[in-house]
Each structure stands twice: as structure tokens, then as C-alpha cells.
């Protein structure tokens, strides 16, 4: 796990500048790109050296982050075979419906070792890291083939935490 430091009162992040000194940025993405700490202890020490006397949890917080973002699984199908979902018309572009994979597994399904998939217009869309998606790709493809034949394509859309 990696970490970034957020200054609470200034709503910004501590990062190194080009000369190796510490500065701040308002961009969480920039903090992730250049201000990552490999462990919480070094992040805490850096925050303390940035401005002595700061208290973790009051003046600053240390966020766990990952360079491997979560993704929603977008499924693109022809408009003609789009399921009747809430607000589906607002998810149709150029004759294609852009819907999302969702997990509809019940407690009984889970106890029996089954994962059940469904589709939605975004409510309860599943979030996967790339490796998690790759591990489930075959089962997801099987579900989509059963539901939509071969008239589907998948896009993984990165989401911001």
C-alpha cells in the first residue's frame, strides 16, 4: 500500500518540488503521481518535518492510495437488445446502449459458491482493479454471451476514489 499526505485546513497535499524540498498541490492526482510514500511511518515523518507540531488526524491525514485504480465495467450493446432499465434512453449513444455490470449474488448464491451478474445503468455497478477483473473475465464473458449473444463489448472505465 502507498500513502499521500493531505493537509486538512488547506485542503491540499504535500509533494516534493523539483529541488527536493516539500511543497503543496491541490491536485490529488499530482500527489499520487509524485508524492507517494511507501509506508505510513515515512509519510508521518515527512508531515512532521513539513511543519513541526502538526497532529495527525487534526492537521493532516494520511490517505492510502493505489496507482492501480478501480474500474467500472461498461458493457456496450446494440440499442435493439438493450434491457428495459431505468433511464436507459439517457445511456444510448449512436445506436448503442452503454450499461454497467452489477453483482446480483444473493446470500444463498454466495453460500453455494455462485456469483451472479446483472446489468444496470450504474446503480450498484461493480468496481474491480485490473487483476480482479482479469480473474473474473471468463465468468463475465459467459454471462454476457448467455444474455446478449456475441453482440457486446466491454470497456473498463477508471474511477476516481
Residue after which a domain boundary falls, among 13, 38, 65: 65
Going by C-alpha positions, the residue among 78, 69, 46 that lies closest to residue 150 is 78
Query: Are 48 and 76 part of one and the same domain?
Result: no
Dihedral of the CA atoms 101, 104, 107, 109 (nearest 10)? Answer: -90
Query: Are 145 and 78 part of one and the same domain?
Result: yes
**Confidence tier at 157 by pLDDT (50, 70, 90):** very high
Helical segments of 1-159, H only? 28-34, 40-50, 107-111, 130-148
Rg of the chain in Å (alpha carbons): 21
The pTM for the full model equals: 0.63
Going by C-alpha positions, the residue among 123, 44, 57, 129 that lies closest to residue 91 is 123
The residue-averaged pLDDT of 119-127 equals 90
Q: Please identify which residue in the block is written with the cell numbers 482479469.
A: 134
Contact call for residues 73 and 153 (beta carbons, < 8 A): no
The residue-averaged pLDDT of 79-85 equals 91
Interacting residues of 156 by C-beta distance below 8 A, sequence separation 6+: 71, 72, 73, 74, 128, 130, 133
Question: To the nearest whole number, what is the mean pLDDT of the chain?
Answer: 89
Which structural domain, as residue segments, surrounds residue 26? 2-65
Residue 143 has pLDDT above 70, yes or no: yes
Query: Are 77 and 155 part of one and the same domain?
Result: yes
**Confidence tier at 10 by pLDDT (50, 70, 90):** confident
Share of the chain above pLDDT 70, in %: 99
- Total count of domains within the chain: 2
The pLDDT, as a whole number, for residue 160 is 66
Amino acid at each position: 500500500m502507498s500513502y499521500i499526505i493531505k493537509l486538512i485546513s488547506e485542503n491540499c497535499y504535500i509533494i516534493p518540488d523539483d529541488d527536493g524540498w516539500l511543497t503543496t498541490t491541490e491536485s490529488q492526482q499530482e500527489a499520487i503521481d509524485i508524492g507517494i510514500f511507501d509506508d505510513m511511518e515515512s509519510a508521518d515523518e515527512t508531515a512532521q518535518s513539513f511543519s513541526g507540531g502538526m497532529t495527525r488526524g487534526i492537521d493532516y491525514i494520511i490517505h492510502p492510495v493505489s496507482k492501480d485504480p478501480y474500474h467500472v465495467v461498461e458493457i456496450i450493446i446494440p440499442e435493439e437488445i438493450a434491457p428495459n432499465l431505468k433511464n436507459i434512453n439517457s445511456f444510448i449513444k449512436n445506436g448503442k446502449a452503454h450499461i454497467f455490470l452489477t453483482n446480483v449474488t444473493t446470500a444463498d448464491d454466495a453460500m453455494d459458491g455462485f456469483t451472479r451478474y446483472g446489468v444496470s445503468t450504474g446503480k450498484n455497478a461493480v468496481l474491480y482493479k485490473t487483476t480482479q477483473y482479469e480473474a473474473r473475465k471468463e465468468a463475465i464473458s459467459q454471462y454476457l454471451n448467455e444474455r446478449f449473444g456475441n453482440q457486446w463489448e466491454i470497456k473498463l472505465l477508471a474511477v476516481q476514489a
